[in-house]
Amino acid sequence: MITSTAEAAGDGADSGAAHSTMTHPPRSLLLAIESSCDETAAAVFDSEQSCIGNVVCSQIDIHARYGGVVPELASRNHVMAIADVVRRALDEAGADQEHIGAVAVTAGPGLVGSLLVGLEFAKGFCFAHDLPLIEVNHLDGHIQAPRLRTAQGFDEPVWPALALVVSGGHTSLYRCEAPGDYTEIGWTLDDAAGEAFDKVSKRLGLGYPGGAVIDGLAKKGDPAAIDFPRPMLKKPGHHFSFSGVKTAVAYHLDRVGAVEGEALNDLAASFQEAVAEILAIRTVSAARKHGLGHIIVSGGVACNSRLRALMKERAAHRGITVSVPPPGLCTDNAAMIGVAAWARASAAMRAGGGFAQHRVNARSSWFAGRR
Ligand code: KG4
Ligand code: ZN
């Protein structure tokens, strides 16, 4: 499934891009590419740092029948999609290859086979046009996603800030001094929060990925119906744990048997409430402990309606402000990669740099900052 600006949530502000009617000077635009997991994505930025093209091609339909991402299939589908996705992003920006002055690309963390497709495409593009290549950490992209200029303006977080990156592969807290300057102060000791959503969804027979489905059912359920545990809340430090909540759901199902209708809605709402509470309580408490007055929430699970509301509610209660990107920019996309690369890319373009980064390689694991 391909989403472009015009289609994304039916609103240019949500996709982070606005259609360009300008003609662009040669080598003035930034092309960003993301392929770390199962989304092939490209975005184009103009010299004002506005995102003027943003296309995401999701492979969810392909992996759904296997109940999770199949790495080999993901790589193959990236290969088939990438040229078309870049072409569409350029078209949306009203641009052509000669307008590109630098390319930013996700180099990790992620599935190596998937990363390599975007990375080698970017290298080839840069080699052919003699352009600088900027490697970007995927998690840095998620942290900087709220900085995207949208039709509604420029939502610059207040730095220093605390960032919660919460997705299918990660659940981490970062103390952020400024864009790109991070210390990871908390992480999950077992499952990522999105992984817990996906595993619970699978157990309930609701398919993959499960976050959005559970979010939908939870709207009709009672979050207080089942008292699932909130692990780690009483422990010092800022780490998370979600496998206990997931196991509690499995024990509940072993006890009561298959659930449907109202019982299913109640279970979804109670599970979601437990995960949202753990995330919100732990994040707000880490911000207070570190004296930070601003929280960034990003990654696929940041689409969750209850988490978005609860985080804002609990933070406001403590006088802390919150930035959360629109849902289309919480899940994987290339616009966030462009924003994270922007300062380095514009410096390289100003310096007139050419292609010199032959050695940039895919990294399956790559911390965003210090630990
Ligand atoms: O950031 P993302 O697109 O990919 C990774 O880097 O993992 O996040 C995907 C994850 C999946 O686990 C999915 O179930 C979860 O985000 N997700 C949600 C919602 N929408 C997506 N989780 C809870 N509520 C949602 N509305
Ligand atoms: Zn991600």
Best residue among 167, 172, 204, 337 to mutate for probing ligand 1's pocket (most ligand atoms within 8 Å of CB) is: 167
Indicate whether 153 pLDDT > 80: no
Asked, for residue 358, whether it belongs to a domain, the answer is: no
- The tens digit of pLDDT for each residue in 17-70 reads 655 556 899 999 999 999 999 999 999 999 988 999 999 999 999 999 998 999
* DSSP β-bridge partners for residue 187: 172
Indicate whether 103 pLDDT > 90: yes
pTM, whole model, 2 decimals? 0.93
> Same structural domain for residues 342 and 297?
no
What's the rounded Cα separation, in Å, for the pair 51 and 331? 17
> Same structural domain for residues 178 and 245?
yes
Asked, for residue 133, whether it belongs to a domain, the answer is: yes
- The tens digit of pLDDT for each residue in 296-313 reads 999 999 999 999 999 999
Angle in degrees, CA 153, 156, 352, rounded to 5: 90
The protein residue whose alpha carbon is closest to atom 2 in ligand 1 is 300
Residue 109 CB–ligand 1 contact under 6 Å:
no
Residue 153's SS3 state is: strand
The predicted model gives 242-254 an average pLDDT of 97
Asked, for residue 357, whether it belongs to a domain, the answer is: no
User: Scanning the structure block, which residue is given the tokens 């963390």?
Assistant: 109
Indicate whether 295 pLDDT > 90: yes
Asked, for residue 258, whether it belongs to a domain, the answer is: yes
What's the rounded Cα separation, in Å, for the pair 272 and 346? 41
Residue 12 CB–ligand 1 contact under 6 Å:
no
Of 239, 39, 72, 8, the C-alpha closest to 141 is 39
Residue 198 CB–ligand 1 contact under 6 Å:
yes
pLDDT, residue 156, reads 81
Q: What is the mean pLDDT of the chain?
A: 93
Please report which helix (H) or strand (E) contains residue 285, including its range: helix 261-289
Contact between residue 349 and residue 356 where contact means Cβ atoms under 8 Å apart? no
* DSSP β-bridge partners for residue 166: 171
Ligand 1 midpoint to CA 211 (Å): 6
| Side-chain-side CA neighbours of residue 280 (13 Å) | 26
The protein residue whose alpha carbon is closest to atom 16 in ligand 1 is 300
**Alpha helical stretches, state H, 93-210:** 112-129, 138-144, 193-203
> Same structural domain for residues 165 and 267?
yes
> Same structural domain for residues 143 and 212?
no
Distances in Å between the Cα of 94 and the Cα atoms of 29, 51, 252, 344 are: 11, 12, 54, 24
Residue 118 CB–ligand 1 contact under 6 Å:
no
Indicate whether 190 pLDDT > 70: yes
Sort 62 into a burial class: Cβ within 10 Å, 0-12 / 13-18 / 19+: middle
Domain count of the fold of the chain: 2
Sort 227 into a burial class: Cβ within 10 Å, 0-12 / 13-18 / 19+: exposed
- Of the chain, the percentage scoring pLDDT greater than 90 comes to 86
> Same structural domain for residues 164 and 297?
yes
First to last CA, the chain: 37
Atom of ligand 1 nearest to the CA of 305: 26
Residue 323's SS3 state is: strand
> Same structural domain for residues 313 and 193?
yes
- For residue 45, the domain's CATH number is 3.30.420.40
Q: Binning pLDDT at 50, 70 and 90, where does residue 352 land?
A: confident
Asked, for residue 363, whether it belongs to a domain, the answer is: no
Asked if omega into 146 is within 30° of 0 (cis), the reply is: no
pLDDT, residue 353, reads 80
pLDDT, residue 2, reads 76
Ligand 1 midpoint to CA 92 (Å): 26
> Same structural domain for residues 296 and 336?
no
| Side-chain-side CA neighbours of residue 170 (13 Å) | 32
Indicate whether 13 pLDDT > 60: no
Instruction: Output 49 or 175, whichever has higher pLDDT.
Output: 175
The predicted model gives 321-326 an average pLDDT of 94
> Same structural domain for residues 104 and 79?
yes
The bound ligand whose nearest atom lies closest to the alpha carbon of 336 is: 2
> Same structural domain for residues 51 and 200?
no
> Same structural domain for residues 83 and 177?
no
Residue 169 CB–ligand 1 contact under 6 Å:
yes
Contact between residue 283 and residue 299 where contact means Cβ atoms under 8 Å apart? no
Please report which helix (H) or strand (E) contains residue 205, including its range: none
Asked, for residue 366, whether it belongs to a domain, the answer is: no
Asked, for residue 365, whether it belongs to a domain, the answer is: no
Residue 301 CB–ligand 1 contact under 6 Å:
yes
> Same structural domain for residues 7 and 143?
yes
Contact between residue 44 and residue 31 where contact means Cβ atoms under 8 Å apart? yes
Instruction: Output 48 or 184, whichever has higher pLDDT.
Output: 184
pLDDT, residue 356, reads 85
Asked, for residue 118, whether it belongs to a domain, the answer is: yes
Best residue among 69, 140, 273, 331 to mutate for probing ligand 1's pocket (most ligand atoms within 8 Å of CB) is: 331
Structural domain harbouring 230: 158-324
The predicted model gives 152-166 an average pLDDT of 86
What's the rounded Cα separation, in Å, for the pair 127 and 328? 31
Residue 210 CB–ligand 1 contact under 6 Å:
yes
Q: What is the layout of strands, in order, in the sheet containing 29-34?
A: 2-3, 51-58, 39-45, 29-34, 100-108, 133-137
Q: What residues are neighbours of ligand 2 (ion), with CB under 5 Å?
A: 167, 332
> Same structural domain for residues 319 and 186?
yes
Give the lowest-confidence range in 159-173, 182-196, 347-361: 347-361
